[in-house]
Structure 1
């Protein structure tokens, strides 16, 4: 850094204190002439810092509010105080602390010296927060990592735990963070599922920016707020799937999409799938049928009913297939089988 640059930074640090500085006192502090101070003040104004000068024997310089927000210089105590405050707010999704504060925290922690980062962590670890009672707390580092990936348009990998405890690994294109006042959510494009998803950030762990950049895709709906509202509405109708397969666990696992979770072996030739899915009822039913083995759906009720109807339709379709086509004009239909009598003799 040149002497001029270093002097400007020190001058700016002095001016950011809430007082008026006489030009002579600034000159003494920086060991330069009052004329150099006037030139440095002009340079700061050219950079967008609104420095106001007052005339008279007690006049001087002070930094005032302007039309735009210029960069600020913080001393050690100020930086620690701001970082702790932002971490506390971000970690518990306090009302009014939204994505902008998380971006600010991400920027601040990126430039914090290691000694200050250690002080912030020590203060955070020594504090017992009073939460809202739902136990939904977030590691601020997780939040700032996600925010940085969103801002930098960088693909993000992370571990995720669904509502029923199913663990998975996700690779995403993070789009936006959403705060509801009580929780944080990530709206992202899930690359493995080739679809948009909404993730609760308190269920995210081990976030890792891959370094791979991406061009943001268009949301299925017009705005993030609209997409999030629809996503939450769908989440309330998630399918709590419970299915038993009459086949080995390895056979079934190889034929099911990985995001449906792992099956549990219940015997040498049987296994069970218990999972929560936000996919459509029709899609889930089709995927279960494509496993190509006998299975029994225990729930939910709407899945059992849909599979029953689907089975009836498929049976009718097969009975009206090749045999019906063979029974054309002049072709005798096969004789209907005789009814089987019950032991009592009634039909």
Structure 2
């Protein structure tokens, strides 16, 4: 049986594994008292603490798909219940693959270009290949799948520096901090309780709760500019039961119309004048005019305003003004480096 002590973040995983082993390798249901005596992890602490931990562990195993059953310890008496996992219900059916399926699995394993997952994919493929029937021994899983006109092999790559620590933090349910750069802005430190990793259109995202803003947020991994550091105890992060990472990212990608109000020098505005919904002169036309614009592409409008910044006297809303200023600062820093 696996053992573990102290504040090792893997302690809970080891305890769950030990509990699963105990419930699988018993011919009759085990009472809570028997389980506590059999597992050193449960022996420490009060009975109340054991009850709370055991109930949480049962819930976690069931959430992972483990079929824990409750039944009387003695079939002739129903006064004491015990717990057991029926191996027949828990075991996977025999997996049989043919030659074509094995080749496709080989392609899928090679798609992972990320080092921390490539090894796991390769080991899984080797296990499947070892159990394949003799009839497909000649099906080399490393053989190329021929596609006319295609000379490139697809690869899923991830930002190694951020991906691995985020995956580990999500598994351990720990909070993290990392420096993050929004488009056209300087990096800032973000404090996040990570929930999930998601790949869409070739980019990796992490969803989670931004503790500084007290709201769900999505972050692109390729915009994380420094180390991801885990904080707090394992198990502290609670993922909402209704969390749907795909829906959250879809909502994040949806266009958000910006209502812009620019105060310009007389005749200023360039191409934005043609896109404006309205242009109003100031009380003194020699002072300039006000341009009103609705735009769904926030990044584009920030770039357009930054290009005519010398002609702009004021920008509303403040959020767009700050992004334009950040864009100009970033451009100025680039010019200084050159």
State TM-score, norm by structure 1. Answer: 0.32
Q: Which has more radius of gyration?
A: 1
State TM-score, norm by structure 2. Answer: 0.33
